[in-house]
Amino acid sequence: MSTLSTLVNLFLLLALIGCSSWTVRSISSCKHININEVRPHSVSITEFGAVGDGITLNTKAFRNAIFYLNSYADKGGAKLFVPAGRWLTGSFDLISHLTLSLDKDAVILGSTNSEDWPVVDPLPSYGRGRELPGRRHRSLIYGHNLTDVIITGDNGTIDGQGSIWWDKFRNKTLDHTRPHLVELMNSTEVLISNLTFLNSPFWTIHPVYCRHVIVQNVTILAPLSSPNTDGIDPDSSNDVCIEDCYISTGDDLISIKSGWDEYGISFGRPSTNIIIRRLTGRTTSAGISIGSEMSGGVSEVHAEDINIFDSRSAIRIKTSPGRGGYVKNVYISNMTLVNIDIAIRFSGLYGEHPDDAYDPDALPVIERITIKDVIGKNIKRAGLIQGIKGDSFVNICLSNITLNVSKKKPWNCSNVKGYSELVSPEACVQLNERIFPDHFSDCYQLPDLVRSSSSRNRAAWLLSW
């Protein structure tokens, strides 16, 4: 007995070491971007004739100010300040080494005339607009090939006034795919912080083909009924850190993507090293979602300290034959769920293809997904986990999950294989083989634990029950 308790103490200590080294690791990767927080030069948008009355269209002022500031790009960069006021504008482009900084009472308002949101080419990894074939509207705030960009404010507001776009979607009068509120493409060293984003026409923040992106301390709001107003969608991007965010929108709070069917497969750019911490929110869709566009692959997704309430799902993976690609090495821990229809939902037959040229034999690989330390109340169904016939999702590992579920059949699983420990209500038969002693190494664990000795591995895993 005393040997056992000594061992338990030893394991506890090792678990703590494992835990803190993960924390340190994630903090450092969140801070690890190369930006100039101090800009030697600063101008206010009013110096370029902007009028903050909510009526005057200021697109030219934004474009002129940024054109002017381009001459400071190689001198440490510059800051464009937006003071208190309501600044109506059409879409404008950022430049490298720029800080766009909003006063706490500044509101940048997206024009309600769709012509102020010009069209641009579709993304090569999608082959067409996401909603309609062909081109797509450019986001309100757009950047391409940039480095060292900050969008920040003292909780100032960027409001897309998306309802005209939602109406056009609903009444089927869109002529091109709807725009995002902020899109940064092929850019590095990007920080988006301390802001509120409202009423995006479509996905709210879309980093695509980017690297080293931090989204920190932002609030994203759109009506629960607004169509496809995802919060943050890292897409074919790596080293993305999202922390301290509150999101309440009409679609997934965070949706990790990497291109669509044959276009995503041939573009071949994965999303990897995505960290999500301290996220709170609710949605008519999922809290953390992967896919359905995942054809370039998604790996190394680490999420912790997540609160999801009043939502359809907490964790969602969506894919389909034709997607190809993979979703692997996902680790989600410490979630609190309240009022959720289906806590964990994987859909292998999501459908939705860009055209008929997709290859139905391009099957996605879904493996090594670990979900642990979840507590939930008022959950209708624990899991609806459906792989693909002949292409099972494997090494799905569930640990320490306690859900107060109202449905009689809490789990419904097909074409999936994995392991579980301490799951209540007990997991479906496809997942109910115990993790210990035989399947520990089949389950994805955090990299710091993986690198350490296998006894420490076991200790950390064991003691994290």
Ligand X SMILES: *[C@@H]1O[C@H](CO)[C@@H](O)[C@H](O)[C@H]1NC(C)=O
Q: Annotated active-site positions, please? A: 251
**Residue 24, helix vs strand vs coil:** helix
Nearer to ligand X, 244 or 442 (CB): 244
Q: Which residues, in sequence order, are bridge partners of residue 403?
A: 376
Nearer to ligand X, 236 or 328 (CB): 236
Stretch that binds ligand X, among 94-102, 151-159, 287-295, 314-322 (CB under 6 A): 151-159
Among 21, 193, 266, 432, binds ligand X (CB under 6 A): 193
- How many Cα atoms within 13 Å fall on the side-chain side of residue 352? 17
Q: What DSSP line would sit under 382-451, residue for residue?
A: EEEEE-BTTB-EEEEEEEEEEEEE-SSS-EEEESEEEEEEEEESPPPGGG-EESTTTTGGGS---HHHHH
**Residue 239, helix vs strand vs coil:** strand
Nearer to ligand X, 21 or 404 (CB): 404
- CB count within 10 Å of CB 44 equals 15
**Minimum CB distance to ligand X, residue 375 (Å):** 4
Among 164, 224, 338, 394, binds ligand X (CB under 6 A): 164
Site string for ligand X, 234-253 (x = CB under 6 A): ----------x---------
Nearer to ligand X, 161 or 404 (CB): 404
Among 125, 196, 200, 238, binds ligand X (CB under 6 A): 196
Among 96, 186, 266, 392, binds ligand X (CB under 6 A): 186
**Minimum CB distance to ligand X, residue 49 (Å):** 26
Cβ within 8 Å of residue 388, ≥6 positions away: 319, 320, 321, 348, 349, 363, 364, 415
How far apart CA 442 and CA 152 sit, in angstroms, is 42
Structural tokens at position 145:
């090939």
Q: Does 266 bind ligand X (CB under 6 A)?
A: no
Q: Is the Cβ–Cβ distance between 76 and 39 less than 8 Å?
A: yes
Structural tokens at position 99:
């800080």
From the number of C-beta atoms within 10 Å of its C-beta (0-12, 13-18, 19+), residue 281 rates as buried
Q: According to CB under 6 A, which residues from 334 to 393 bind ligand X?
A: 334, 336, 373-375, 384
- DSSP state, 224? T
Stretch that binds ligand X, among 39-47, 71-79, 150-158, 389-397 (CB under 6 A): 150-158
Among 71, 145, 454, 455, binds ligand X (CB under 6 A): 145
Among 105, 305, 341, 442, binds ligand X (CB under 6 A): 305
Nearer to ligand X, 143 or 328 (CB): 143
Among 91, 395, 415, 464, binds ligand X (CB under 6 A): 464
**Minimum CB distance to ligand X, residue 185 (Å):** 6
Among 125, 194, 271, 292, binds ligand X (CB under 6 A): 194
Per DSSP (E only), the strands in 219-349 are 219-221, 238-249, 254-256, 271-283, 286-290, 298-318, 326-347
Q: Does 307 bind ligand X (CB under 6 A)?
A: yes
Amino acid of residue 179: P
Total residues interacting with ligand X, rule: CB under 6 A = 33
Nearer to ligand X, 66 or 384 (CB): 384
Amino acid of residue 26: S
Q: Does 400 bind ligand X (CB under 6 A)?
A: yes
Q: According to CB under 6 A, which residues from 20 to 39 bind ligand X?
A: none
How far apart CA 46 and CA 17 sit, in angstroms, is 53
Q: Encode 259-275: b = buried (16+ Cβ within 10 Å), e = exposed.
A: bbbbbbbebebbbbbbb
**Minimum CB distance to ligand X, residue 389 (Å):** 13
**Minimum CB distance to ligand X, residue 83 (Å):** 16
Q: Which residues, in sequence order, are bridge partners of residue 326?
A: 365
Q: Does 103 bind ligand X (CB under 6 A)?
A: no
Amino acid of residue 283: T
Stretch that binds ligand X, among 54-62, 74-82, 292-300, 404-412 (CB under 6 A): 404-412
**Continuous segment of H or E residues that includes residue 185:** strand 182-185
Site string for ligand X, 311-330 (x = CB under 6 A): --------------------
Among 63, 144, 380, 458, binds ligand X (CB under 6 A): 144
Q: Does 173 bind ligand X (CB under 6 A)?
A: yes
Q: Which residues are at the interface with ligand X (CB under 6 A)?
A: 144-145, 152, 154-155, 164, 167-168, 171, 173, 186, 193-194, 196, 209, 216-217, 219, 244, 305, 307, 334, 336, 373-375, 384, 400, 404, 409, 412, 464-465
